[in-house]
């Protein structure tokens, strides 16, 4: 059996928000495999499938920039919330985003172009900063949305969506779809974008949760099919119920407007970043003794 270390327990806890003893047991049951342990916790009903977004955080700003046919979402991190309110940091974010757009969303080229500006701002403010990520979306029509804006165009959530088709229809639904994405956090654009292995994993989790126990095979097939449709409705943008009119899916809203999706990007500030937590580390270490 793989050694169950404090680092593994911390990683699983950050991923699932489950209790430490539950995380330790899950890892022991699954030979230290993080993904398998996460699935095991879901099967046991200890945690529900959820975005990592609500479980991790970091400081800085997310911004969006766009021009004809292209938009970028950019995340620049700092150590504290205080820095995000600093005008010098905000100017840096704006300059970096403009450069990212100019360089067609190429992360390496953008980083090379702005590294001296970042270093200078670090020296001025006295806090570490880094350009974390850039996402590019292309399309005939580009729309964006910033949620929890600290200043115009910068906040905690940034969305860019690309559409093609009727301009009047796109102008009507584009901004609304961008807001919908911010609220519903889809993982995929279409069903075709979902990896078959992901679908099989969802089926396995559902079956092993015990929900189908004792049911006839025909009933199980229908239950599994229903669970996968629910998964699509939660995770796939086109299949989600439109937040402003739940009687329609996003696919139906776009069809009514005469447009199609070409792409989208969603960034939540700090998503996936695990902050150092000395108290948690100490607690885990003690538990392992």
Tell me what pLDDT residue 138 has: 98
Residue 243 lies in a domain: no
Tell me what pLDDT residue 278 has: 47
Residue 203 lies in a domain: no
CATH number at residue 15: 1.10.8.10
Residue 113 lies in a domain: yes
Residue 138 lies in a domain: yes
Q: Does one domain contain both 82 and 172?
A: yes
Residue 167 lies in a domain: yes
Q: Does one domain contain both 96 and 148?
A: yes
Q: Does one domain contain both 125 and 176?
A: yes
Q: Does one domain contain both 278 and 258?
A: no
Q: Does one domain contain both 153 and 86?
A: yes
Helix count and strand count (H, E) for the chain: 11, 9
Residue 128 lies in a domain: yes
Return per-residue pLDDT of the chain as tens, 289 residues: 788 888 888 888 877 777 788 889 999 999 999 999 988 888 877 764 433 333 333 699 999 999 989 999 999 999 888 999 999 999 999 999 999 999 999 999 999 999 999 999 988 888 888 999 999 999 999 999 999 999 999 999 999 999 999 999 999 999 999 999 999 999 999 999 999 999 999 888 887 887 778 888 888 888 889 999 999 999 999 999 999 999 999 999 999 999 999 999 999 998 877 655 545 455 445 545 5
CATH number at residue 164: 3.30.479.20
pTM: 0.74
Q: Does one domain contain both 107 and 173?
A: yes
Phi, psi of 151 (to 5 degrees): -140, 170
> Which residue range(s) make up the domain with 50?
1-56+274-289
Q: Does one domain contain both 148 and 95?
A: yes
Q: Does one domain contain both 12 and 24?
A: yes
Tell me what pLDDT residue 51 has: 39
CB 109, CB 90: distance < 8 Å: no
How many angstroms from the chain centroid is the CA of residue 284?
27
Q: Does one domain contain both 82 and 109?
A: yes
Residue 132 lies in a domain: yes
Q: Does one domain contain both 173 and 121?
A: yes
Number of domains the chain is built from: 2
Phi, psi of 163 (to 5 degrees): -130, 160
Return the DSSP state at 55.
Answer: G
Give the separation between CA 23 and CA 12, rounded to whole angstroms: 6
Residue 107 lies in a domain: yes
Q: Does one domain contain both 47 and 61?
A: no
Q: 225-234: long-range contacts (C-beta < 8 A, 24 or more apart)? A: 227/202, 227/203, 228/199, 228/202, 228/203, 231/199, 231/202, 232/191, 232/194
Q: Closest by alpha carbon to 178, among 142, 135, 149, 134?
A: 142
Q: Does one domain contain both 65 and 50?
A: no
């Amino acid at each position: 059996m793989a050694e169950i270390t404090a680092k593994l327990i911390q990683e699983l806890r950050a991923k699932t928000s489950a209790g430490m003893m539950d995380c330790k047991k899950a890892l022991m049951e699954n030979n230290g495999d993080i993904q398998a342990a996460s699935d095991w916790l879901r099967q046991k009903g200890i945690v529900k499938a959820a975005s990592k977004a609500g479980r991790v955080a970091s400081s800085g700003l997310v911004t969006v920039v766009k021009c004809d046919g292209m938009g970028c979402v950019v995340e620049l991190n700092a150590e504290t919330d205080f820095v995000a309110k600093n005008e010098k940091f905000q100017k840096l974010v704006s300059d970096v985003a403009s450069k990212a757009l100019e360089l067609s969303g190429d992360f390496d080229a953008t980083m090379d172009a702005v590294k001296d500006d970042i270093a200078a701002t670090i020296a001025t403010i006295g806090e570490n900063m880094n350009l974390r990520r850039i996402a590019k979306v292309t399309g005939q029509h580009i729309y964006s949305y910033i949620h929890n804006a600290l200043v115009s165009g910068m906040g905690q959530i940034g969305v860019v969506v690309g559409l093609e088709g009727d301009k009047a229809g796109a102008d009507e639904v584009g901004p609304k779809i961008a807001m919908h994405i911010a609220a519903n956090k889809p993982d995929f654009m279409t069903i075709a974008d979902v990896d078959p292995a992901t679908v099989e994993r969802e089926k396995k989790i559902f079956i092993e949760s015990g929900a189908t126990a004792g049911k006839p095979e025909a009933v199980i097939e229908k239950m599994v099919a229903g669970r996968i449709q629910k998964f699509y409705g939660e995770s796939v943008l086109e299949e989600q119920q439109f937040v402003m009119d739940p009687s329609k899916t996003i696919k139906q809203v776009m069809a009514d407007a005469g447009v199609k999706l070409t792409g989208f990007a969603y960034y939540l500030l700090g998503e996936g970043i695990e902050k150092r937590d000395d108290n948690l580390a100490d607690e885990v270490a003690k538990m392992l003794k």
